[in-house]
Structure 1
Amino acid sequence: MARSGCFSRRLGVAVRELKGAWYGRHMAASERAIVDRLPIVDVVLEIRDARLSIVLRDKIRELKSGQDSYTATVMLVGIPNVGKSAIANSLHEIGRIHAEEKGRHRHAVVSTFPGETKDITAYKMQSHPSIYVLDTPGVLSPIVATDDYASKLALTGAIKDSTLQDGGLVEFFLFVLNFSGKYNSWEDSDDRAELVSQKKIRKHHSDHTNDVIVKDVRRTLAKIRHSFNGDLEKEDEHGKLIESQLVALQKPFGLHCGSVGDRNRAIASKLLDLYWTGRLGHYTLDTFSNDL
Structure 2
Amino acid sequence: MGITQNYKLNTIQWYPGHIAKAEKQLKEQLKLVDVVLEVRDARIPVSTHHPQLQEWIGNKSRVLVINRFDMILPQTKQAWINWFKRQGEVPYYTNAQHGQGVPAVLKAAQAEGVQLNERRKSRGMLPRPVRAVVIGFPNVGKSALINRILGKRVVESAARPGVTRSLRWVRISDELELLDAPGVIPLKLQNQDAAVKLAICDDIGDASYDNQLVAAAFLDIISYLEAVAPELLPKQALNERYKLDPTEHTGEGYLHALAEHRYKGDVERTARQLLTDYRKGFLGQIPLEIPTQFSGDE
TM range (shorter): 0.5 to 0.7
Does structure 2 retain, via aligned residues, the 8 Å contact 1:117–1:137?
A: no
Give aligned-pair identity as a percent: 21
Within 5 A, what are the aligned runs for 1:211-222? 219-221=240-242
**1:22-67, CA deviations, whole angstroms, 9 ceiling, x for partnerless residues?**
342x442332233223333121122223334344343132238434
Answer 1 or 2: which has greater strand percent. 2
Aligned with residue 10 of structure 2, among 10, 13, 16: 13
Whether the aligned pair in 1 keeps the contact of 2:131 and 2:178 (CA below 8 Å) is yes
CA-to-partner distance for each residue in 1:66-89, whole Å, 9 max, x for gaps? 346443321111222222112112
1:108 and 2:105 aligned = no
Give the letter aligned to residue 279 of structure 1. Answer: F
What is the alpha-carbon distance in structure 2 between the residues aligned to residue 145 and residue 162 of structure 1? Answer: 14
Report what 2:244 is aligned to: 224
Aligned equivalent of 1:248: 261
Tell me if the contact between 2:22 and 2:186 (Cα under 8 Å) persists in the aligned partners: no
Question: Structure 2 vs 1, CA of residues 272 and 32 (structure 1 numbering), >3 Å: closer, same or farther?
Answer: same
- The 3-state SS of whatever aligns with 2:235 is helix
The one-letter code matched in structure 2 to 1:241 is Y
Q: Which residue of 1 aligns with 2:281?
A: 278
Gap change, CA 1:238 and 1:158, over 3 Å in 2 = closer
Query: TM-score by structure 2 length?
Result: 0.60
TM-score w.r.t. length of structure 1: 0.61
- Three-state SS of the structure 2 residue aligned to 1:30 is helix
Residue deviations 1:165-220 (CA, integer Å, cap 9, x gap): 4311111112223344446265xxxxxxxxxxxxxxxxxxxxxxxxxxxxxx8634
- Counterpart for residue 201 of structure 2: 156
Of 196, 210, 215 in structure 2, the residue corresponding to residue 170 of structure 1 is: 215
Aligned to 2:32: 40
Against the structure 1 CA distance between its residues 29 and 238, is the aligned structure 2 distance closer, same or farther, given a 3 Å change threshold? closer
Contact 2:139 2:203 in 1 (8 A): yes
- For the structure 1 residues 117 and 41, does the alpha-carbon distance in structure 2 shift closer, same or farther, using more than 3 Å as the test? same
Counterpart in the other structure of 1:77? 135
- 2:75 alignment partner in structure 1: none
Residue 184 of structure 1 aligns to a residue whose secondary structure is coil
Q: What is the SS of the residue equivalent to 2:37?
A: strand
In structure 2, give the amino acid aligned to 1:53: P
Partners of 1:106 and 1:218 in 2: CA distance: 42
Q: Distance in 1 between matches of 2:185 and 2:251?
A: 34
User: What is aligned with 1:124?
Assistant: 170
Calculate the aligned-residue CA RMSD, in Å: 3.4
Give how far 1:124 is off.
3.4
Cα gap change, 1:45/1:23 in structure 2, threshold over 3 Å: closer, same or farther? farther
Q: Is the 2:132–2:176 contact (alpha carbons within 8 Å) kept by the matching residues of 1?
A: no
Find the aligned partners of 2:8 and 2:280 in 1 and give their Cα distance.
21
Using the alignment, how far apart are the partners of 2:211 and 2:178 within structure 1?
Answer: 41
Aligned residues: 223
Task: Give the partner amino acid of 1:126.
Answer: I
More helix by share: 1
Which stretches in structure 1 are left out of the alignment for 5+ residues? 97-104, 187-216, 251-255
Structure 2: gaps (5+ residues): 62-115, 121-125, 227-232
Q: What is the match of residue 20 of structure 2?
A: 28
Q: Secondary structure at the match of 1:115?
A: coil
Q: 1:273 to 1:69 in 2, by over 3 A?
A: farther
Partner of 1:89: 147
Residue identity matched to 1:184: K
Counterpart secondary structure, 2:40 = coil
